[in-house]
Chains A and B, each alone.
Chain A
Amino acid sequence: MASPMPPVGAMLWTWALMLGLLALIAASDYLPLGPYLPWVQFAAAAAIVILLAFFWMNLATATAAVRIAAFAAIFFLFVLTLLSFNDFLTRPMDLVPFHAPPGVPAPR
């Protein structure tokens, strides 16, 4: 109740924008985007979630504490992914005897 909802017209526009972005994600599979495909998709998905969170969950006008809570969750999910991938991404180049990939001679 902290902040009033936007007017109906604005909500309908937001909804239309979300459906447009959804159409973009769905169509992206058929567009010649090459390596940019996931980037376009995730940008569009993020835009939908941002619209949802900022205007319909009132994050735009929320108290600082609420914003910190939302930010903290996303940040620590990012940390989980980042530091785990720090392992996954460097493991193939890590030629130590106890986990050399098959076919690669272990360094002495």
Chain B
Amino acid sequence: MSTPDVQLGIPAAAQLAAEEAPAEQFGTRTNQNEATEFGMWVFLATELMFFGALLLGYAYGRHLDPAGFAEASRHTDLVIGTANTAILLSSALTMSLAIRAAQRLERGALMSFLAASALLGLLFLALKGYEYHDDIDEGLVPWADFRITGVHRGAAALFYFLYYALTALHALHLTIAIIVVLVYLVRLRGATVAPYRQQITVTALYWHFVDGMWVLLYTLIYVASPRS
């Protein structure tokens, strides 16, 4: 907490003083901070259950026809999937570094790491879009000239339906997260860090949830079958 914000020339103590005005119902700033973080965790619990219905559908389909799900999984693009996972895990790193910078009131570092996270998120979305394009080209759309036929067609169709549903829902979440980060980037221009520290910490929780959810989706979608 000791590094002053050199860019704006405002000492840390003055910034912190500006932050110390909690909403009246909370009493103290600490209480407000912890309550807001707790609120975000409760929201993430809701989010997990929201994905939960789809995850149960996946578990049901894979249980019903494991070979069909394996067959379908073999058609996914492991390279893009793995690269995207690495990208999101890196964005989680930059987001964590952003929180650290926010806690230390380092405005320049904070903005750089937020921008890096947003860029990595956008890169993920771009690759995902490219992958969707490939999937369509390769006839992996169950409702339009589906490529996988034979006994596993039903399970494969179910797999690809869930693939699109889960990844699209995830992409929607990531898009929201990127927009929120961009909003804070705009707001931080010419402003001090302290009033935004809390909000950025809470945004980062959401960002990390989106990353963690992707790791789970990656494991369910891309590697559900032996390829050797």
Contact = CB atoms under 8 A, between A and B. Distances in A.
Direct contact of A and B (CB under 8 A): yes
A86 interface: no
Contacts of A52: 92, 208, 211-212, 215
Interface string B186-216: 0000000000011001001100110110011
Contacts, number: 129
Nearest to A52: B212
Nearest to B81: A26
B83 to A, nearest CB: 10
Contact of B37 (A2, A12, A89): A2
B63 interface: yes
A22 B89 contact: yes
Contacts of A22: 82, 85-86, 89, 215
A37 to B, nearest CB: 6
Interface of B: 33-34, 37-38, 41-42, 44-46, 48-49, 52, 55-56, 59-60, 63-64, 78, 82, 85-86, 89-90, 92-93, 95-97, 99-100, 103, 197-198, 201, 204-205, 208-209, 211-212, 215-216, 218-219, 222-228
